Amino acid sequence: MPNYDFSYDPVTAISEDKAKGKTAEIFLDIRKTMHIPFITSIWRGLASIENSLEDIWSISKPIYLTGTPELALNNMINSINLPKPPAINMKAFNHKDLHTIKEIIKVYNRSNGMNLMALSALIKSEYKPRLSISIISPKEINANFPKLLDKDDISNTNWKCVKIVNSLGAPNGVSSHVATLWRHLSYWPNFLNEVIHSFEKISMNGDIINTQNEVLNYVNNNGINLKRQKFKYTYINNLALETIRDYVNTNNQVIRMVVLGNIMKKWLEN
């Protein structure tokens, strides 16, 4: 499996608070449909490719509306073996900080995981979805999370920490594009350092990469299968399709963050 990094840079992709017009409307619709307070980088990355955000969302939204991606995600997480890092020292963090950290990780796990299941199904079929859509009433989830920091808002010391923790399971080590979750957790450099220290063993012995491969195999063999129409989405920008293919079909883009996020979730629960 080639080691592709993100084809866009999550750090420089348009931020939600700077989006305007149609882009801002689509971002809001994504949040409401997925029941999340903020979106992950794939949608912000697609916004930089001409018309791609609107085109991809219009054909993938029906998949999310069925609720299938969330169900498929839960089945996948319950079917794989997540590595167990050494226990975190909970006494080093106050209750409020730990609660916020857990909630941020929970949102990214939901968003990354649902994107993995839905967009891999879309790419696998290469046809416009035809689904029996259950009528739901999407609502925006408002949560009191700290603002996602831009790189310039993060100190050099903390940014170095972000780059190191981001290197876990990444294709190019500390030179890899930084996944958005780590920027959101940069308010707590002590927590990131704890992740680096505790995850070192499962990184060095290959457990993280092996789990990423396990998830990739699971999605390929047990992911969502869409009904097909004869009408292919040939109007979609080729760069956008390649971006999504790399995003879901390699073991170190969204799959890496699904694996690391869920390892952290269980690690904090224990």
What would the pLDDT profile of 44-79 be if each residue is shown by its tens digit? 999 999 889 998 998 899 889 888 999 999 999 999
**The domain containing residue 158 runs over which residues?**
16-269
Q: Are 25 and 58 in contact (CB under 8 A)?
A: no
Whether residue 240 is contained in a domain is answered as: yes
Q: Are 169 and 252 in contact (CB under 8 A)?
A: yes
Whether residue 35 is contained in a domain is answered as: yes
Mean pLDDT of 141-169: 92
Whether residue 106 is contained in a domain is answered as: yes
Helices (H), the chain: 21-34, 41-46, 52-65, 68-79, 95-125, 156-166, 180-184, 189-204, 207-222, 238-249, 254-269
Confidence of residue 90 (pLDDT cuts 50, 70, 90): confident
Whether residue 128 is contained in a domain is answered as: yes
Whether residue 11 is contained in a domain is answered as: no
Task: Give which of 183, 195, 181, 178 is closest to 158, Cα–Cα.
Answer: 183
Structure tokens at 239: 């760069």
Whether residue 38 is contained in a domain is answered as: yes
Whether residue 50 is contained in a domain is answered as: yes
Euclidean distance between CA atoms 121 and 107, whole angstroms: 21
Whether residue 5 is contained in a domain is answered as: no
What region, left, alpha or beta, does residue 224 occupy, with left being phi > 0 and alpha being psi -120 to 50 degrees?
beta
Total number of domains in the chain:
1
Confidence of residue 30 (pLDDT cuts 50, 70, 90): very high
Nearby residues of 1 by Cβ (< 8 Å), 6 or more positions away? 213, 216, 250, 251
Structure tokens at 59: 């054909």
Nearby residues of 99 by Cβ (< 8 Å), 6 or more positions away? none
